[in-house]
Chains A and B, each alone.
Chain A
C-alpha cells in the first residue's frame, strides 16, 4: 500500500445481486473490516469515484444504468466485479433475461469470486484494483492475457 498517494473513492452499484454481496461490500466499510482507515470512502456520485464495484450480473433492465455509471466516472478508473454473479452469472446464467457477467458490458479489471464474496476477498480485490489504477495513471498498464478462458 506504500504507493497509495491519494484516497481512492468507490461507487457501488447493485446490478442484480441477491443482496448477499452488497451487504458484504457494506460490511467492508463498517468497524469490523473498516476500509475507511485507508481513505476508501463509498460515494454515491460516480463522478467522484475512482473504483467501480459491481455486484450481480447484467440483465436487460440495468445494462444502461451500469454503462451510464461507468461513462460518468473520470479516467483513470477501475472496475471490480464482486461475486461469482458479476463474474459469470452464477446459477442465474440460465435465466431468460440474463445478458451475463459485467464484462459483457464494460471492461472489468479484477474479478472477486465467491457466493457471497467474503469481505476479506473484497478488500483484497480492491487493493489489487488500486495497483492497476496506479499503473493506469502512469500509462504502464497492459491488460493481461487470460489463458484457458472460454
Chain B
C-alpha cells in the first residue's frame, strides 16, 4: 500500500480567485481524506450591527459578497420589514425579483466561466465572461453599480426602472440569451467537457440530503428543493419549477446551472409582463423589535438570515447561514476517493463563495 501524503491546496491557488485551504491526504493519485480550513477572509461583519444604524446596515449586508450582493441586501431588508410589519409596494417586490434573477444569471454565467477555466477550457471561460459583461451593463444602467448596487433599502428600493427602459432591457435580454445558447451548447455537448465532468464527484440523493446540501448541489442529486417556492416577495405570483438533475456528478451540477439561467430569463420576462404600477419606496418610522428568520434562494442555494431587534436603532443580533457553509460537508464527501487532478473541478462545482461563508 502506498504511503499516505498530505498535499496542501491553497490558500493562494491559481484556480481559485478566493482563499480556501484544503489539506488533501493522498495515497498515490487518490485522495483519501480532506481537511478543510477556513478563516482567511473572516471580517467579523455580523458584529457591525451594533455600530451601524439598522437602515445603513443593508449596505454592510450587501458587502458580505460581491457576487450575490443584491440578494444579501434583499434578505436583510425582508427580515427587517417582516419584524416591523411593513407592507412593501408590489412594484418594489417585482423589481426586487427582477434584480435577484438578474444576479442569478450573472452569478451562474460567472461560475460557468470559472468552471471552464478549472477544467482547462480557456476560450469557453473568455466567452462566458464576455456575455456576463452585457448583464453587468444592464446592472450599471439600472442601479449605477457593476457589482455592489446599494439599491435595496428597508421599505422598498432607492431607484425605480422606467417601463420603457424595461422594454428595452427585454430586447437586450433576447440578444444575451441568443449568445448564451451558443456557450450552453458547448457545456452540454462538448466531448472534453463531458470527459472532465461525467461521473466525477458523485453525490447520491441520500448523501446530499443527510449532509445538508443546498441549492444546485442538492438539486443535481435529484432532490427538488428551491426556497423561491415558499413564495417570498413576488415569487408567489410567478410560474416556475425547480430545475432538477438525477446523476449527482459534476456534469449534473453544471447542467442545473446551465438550465437555471434559462429559467431566470423566463422569470425576468414574467416580472416585466406583470410589473404593477405604483411607488417603490415608503416612509419607515420606528425601530425593529422582535426576531425573524428570513430564508431566500441565492444562486448558490438556500441562505438563512436571523435578525433580532430590541426596539433601538441598532439591531441586537444578525446571523447569516450561507449556502457554501452548508455545502462544505458534501464537498468533503465528494472529494473522498477522487483523483488528485479532479480536485479543482470538484471544489468549483459547489460554487464556493468563501467571503460569504466567512463574512
Are B130 and A65 in touch, CB under 8 angstroms?
no
Question: Which of A13, A15, A32, A91 has a CB less than 8 Å from the CB of B59?
Answer: A91
Q: Can you name the residue of chain B whose Cβ is closest to the Cβ of A30?
A: B129
Please judge, given known A-B contacts A69-B12, A94-B48, A95-B47, whether A16 and B126 are in contact too, CB under 8 Å.
no
Which chain B residues in 130-149 approach chain A with CB under 8 Å?
130, 133, 136, 145-148
Instruction: Please encode chain A, from 39 to 77, with 1 for each CB lying within 8 Å of some chain B CB and 0 for all others.
Output: 000011110000000001001011001000100000000
Are A20 and B66 in touch, CB under 8 angstroms?
yes
Which chain B residues in 254-312 approach chain A with CB under 8 Å?
none
**CA–CA, A101 to B30, complex, Å?**
41
Are B40 and A116 in touch, CB under 8 angstroms?
no
Size band of the interface chain A makes with B: 35 or more
Instruction: Please encode chain A, from 106 to 136, with 1 for each CB lying within 8 Å of some chain B CB and 0 for all others.
Output: 0000000001101000000000000000000
Determine which residue in B17, B51, B69, B353 has the highest number of CB atoms from chain A within 10 A of its CB, and name it: B17
Q: Tell me if A14 counts as interface (CB < 8 A to partner B).
A: yes
Which chain B residues in 110-129 approach chain A with CB under 8 Å?
110, 113, 125-127, 129
Are B146 and A118 in touch, CB under 8 angstroms?
yes
- Residues of B in contact (CB 8 Å), total 41
**CA–CA, A97 to B358, complex, Å?**
12
Determine which residue in A14, A25, A59 has the highest number of CB atoms from chain B within 10 A of its CB, and name it: A14
Instruction: Please encode chain B, from 1 to 24, with 1 for each CB lying within 8 Å of some chain A CB and 0 for all others.
Output: 000000000011110011100000
Q: Tell me if A92 counts as interface (CB < 8 A to partner B).
A: yes
Are A32 and B130 in touch, CB under 8 angstroms?
yes
Residues in chain A near residue B44, CB distance under 8 A? 92, 95-98
Are A22 and B17 in touch, CB under 8 angstroms?
yes
Q: Report the minimal beta-carbon distance from A71 to chain B, rounded to whole angstroms.
A: 13
Are B40 and A32 in touch, CB under 8 angstroms?
no
Q: Tell me if A7 counts as interface (CB < 8 A to partner B).
A: no
Which chain A residues in 9-48 approach chain B with CB under 8 Å?
12-27, 30-32, 43-46
Q: Report the minimal beta-carbon distance from B183 to chain A, rounded to whole angstroms.
A: 13
Are A16 and B355 in touch, CB under 8 angstroms?
yes
Are A26 and B43 in touch, CB under 8 angstroms?
no
User: What is the total of A-B residue contacts with beta carbons within 8 Å?
Assistant: 125
Residues in chain A near residue B51, CB distance under 8 A? 94
Residues in chain A near residue B12, CB distance under 8 A? 13, 44, 46, 65, 69
Instruction: Please encode chain B, from 145 to 163, with 1 for each CB lying within 8 Å of some chain A CB and 0 for all others.
Output: 1111000000000000000
Are B69 and A14 in touch, CB under 8 angstroms?
no
Are A30 and B147 in touch, CB under 8 angstroms?
no
Q: Report the minimal beta-carbon distance from A36 to chain B, rounded to whole angstroms.
A: 10
**CA–CA, A65 to B11, complex, Å?**
8
Residues in chain A near residue B59, CB distance under 8 A? 91
Are A95 and B66 in touch, CB under 8 angstroms?
no
Question: Which of A16, A19, A62 has a CB less than 8 Å from the CB of B17?
Answer: A19
Q: Can you name the residue of chain B whose Cβ is closest to the Cβ of A92?
A: B43
Instruction: Please encode chain B, from 171 to 212, with 1 for each CB lying within 8 Å of some chain A CB and 0 for all others.
Output: 000000000000000000000000000000000000000000
Please judge, given known A-B contacts A61-B39, A95-B43, whether A44 and B14 are in contact too, CB under 8 Å.
yes
Q: Can you name the residue of chain A whose Cβ is closest to the Cβ of B114?
A: A26
**CA–CA, A115 to B44, complex, Å?**
19
Are B47 and A23 in touch, CB under 8 angstroms?
no
Are A30 and B130 in touch, CB under 8 angstroms?
yes
15 further interface pairs, Cβ-Cβ under 8 Å (given A22-B17, A44-B13): A14-B355, A18-B69, A19-B66, A20-B67, A27-B136, A30-B133, A31-B129, A56-B41, A61-B39, A61-B41, A62-B11, A91-B63, A95-B43, A98-B44, A116-B145
